[in-house]
Amino acid sequence: MSGKKTDDSNASDGSGAFVPRPCPICGKMSLARYRPFCSKRCADVDLQRWFTGSYAVPVVEEDRSAFSDDDDER
């Protein structure tokens, strides 16, 4: 027996290589399908962070409901 390596033929099989890790977005266990995220939604969130991060524009939320110009004076 010489010239044939049967050892390396199994190296391409990646099943079982996936180790579940906490999703960087929400902390749930990630799925192999969406790794390193737990779901497509979390992957989208991360993607949006990348996009918004490139703009580096701080978003200030105005809550108009909290401030009303109508002073109820008696």
Which residues are at the interface with Zn ion (CB under 5 A)?
23, 25-26, 28, 38, 42
Identify which of residues 21 and 52 has a Cβ nearer to Zn ion in the complex: 21
Distance from first CA to last CA of the chain, Å, rounded? Answer: 102
Residue 29 or 59: the one with the smaller Cβ distance to Zn ion is 29
- Between CA 19 and CA 21 the distance in angstroms is 6
Q: How far is the CB of 65 from Zn ion (least distance, A)?
A: 31
Query: Nearest approach, Cβ of 50 to Zn ion (angstroms)?
Result: 16
15 phi/psi in degrees, rounded to 5: -70, 135
Give 26 or 47: the residue with its C-beta nearer to Zn ion: 26
Tokens of 10: 């199994």
